[in-house]
Chain A
Amino acid sequence: MGEFQSDISAKRLLELYSDMIYRIAFARTQNKADAEDITQNVFLKYIDSNKRFNDEEHRKAWLLRVAVNCTNDFVKSAHYRNRAPIEDVPDAEVHIEENSEIYYAVQSLPEKYRLAVHLFYYEDMSVAEISALTKIKETTVKSQLSRARDMLRKILKEAQYEL
């Protein structure tokens, strides 16, 4: 595996974490251009912070935290709230070939639930970890997941997924 290096190249950093950051941003915004903007912000903050990390987990946790914060800032911005609906911006659509049922089901969830769903099901984070990362109370995270599951069950009822 090799010794841990706190300082790594931009290329290596992106290899390790760009997918993770982009997916978190996309989970919330459901928009390719927005997810790219947020991803860029996260990595530029990384460069700007010049932070030293103890190990790779430390670096990952820091990046996750910044990704969540950047996404929050982005969706709360006046620009995001005042823009036209996505249906009017065809270029923003992301082409999903497989599992489109899942895509549309998740897309129909309220934006806050999408992040909890993503962190729980894809990043395999516990409720406590999601709570610590997002600074949302555990009871709230639990209720977001519970509500999301209810909604997903209704939407995906014919497919009978185990949630």
Chain B
Amino acid sequence: MSFKDEYDKFQRQIAPDKEFLERLAEKMDAEKQVKKKRIKIGAGIVSAAAVCAAASLIIVANTEKTPEPPPDIIGVGADKIEYVEGLFPYGSSASGDIAELAEMLADSETTVYGSPNTMFNFDDKLDETEKNALAEKLRNAVPTDEEPNGDAMNYMATNDGKVVKFSVTVDILSISENNFKV
């Protein structure tokens, strides 16, 4: 039995309501009309203001929201952290893995490879001492050319409200140029 086939069947049941689509179509048409009027009015104003040297027109056409500025970052060098994502919850099926990973990271004997990509959330899996030890490890993370093995796992770490962003590579599929060693 193919998961893909079953998933396709399941997805075909997921669809917006007809009433919702009808309302949305009306809204879209109305918005189109308003836009047309705005352009007409705007064109008139621009013509009138053309001689005004102080006038400026800024058009923002960016559908991508600017990420929020990250909270204080600890750990890996700041130039390697591009964007900090928010906390995200894990399902119970992953909690065992998180606990295991937390222990592994806190263990001073463990060498962990990662890339500054995503983050850990340990919740209550580490006590304060372990969290501080981990934070200290992360602060001392160094770039490396060494090659870990296996699949990358991505988590998010918090330590007293401060967020560190990286992915832990226990096994990897490929190396990124920003790998570091903890």
Contact = CB atoms under 8 A, between A and B. Distances in A.
Interface of A: 9-11, 13-14, 18-19, 22-23, 26, 35-36, 39-40, 43-50, 65-66, 69, 72-73, 76, 81, 94, 96-99, 102-103, 106, 108-112, 117-118, 121-122, 136-140, 142-144, 146-147, 151-152, 154-156, 159-163
B31 A47 contact: yes
Given A49-B63, A138-B174, A140-B167, A35 B154 contact: no
B153 A147 contact: yes
Given A40-B24, A98-B10, A99-B9, A10 B32 contact: yes
A47 B13 CA distance: 27
Contacts of B115: 137, 139
B145 to A, nearest CB: 16
Contacts of A146: 151
Interface string B1-32: 11110111111011111001100110111011
Contact of A122 (B11, B65, B151): B11
Given A99-B13, A103-B10, 15 more contacts: A9-B29, A19-B14, A19-B15, A36-B20, A46-B28, A69-B63, A97-B13, A102-B10, A111-B88, A140-B167, A143-B154, A144-B154, A152-B3, A161-B2, A163-B3
Interface string B140-182: 0000000000011110000000000001000011101000000
* 3 tightest Cβ-Cβ pairs between the two chains A and B: A10-B28, A99-B10, A143-B152
A14 B29 CA distance: 12
Nearest to A51: B61
B64 interface: yes
B4 to A, nearest CB: 5
Contacts of A69: 63-65
B89 interface: yes
B89 A110 contact: yes
A122 B91 CA distance: 22
A44 B20 contact: no
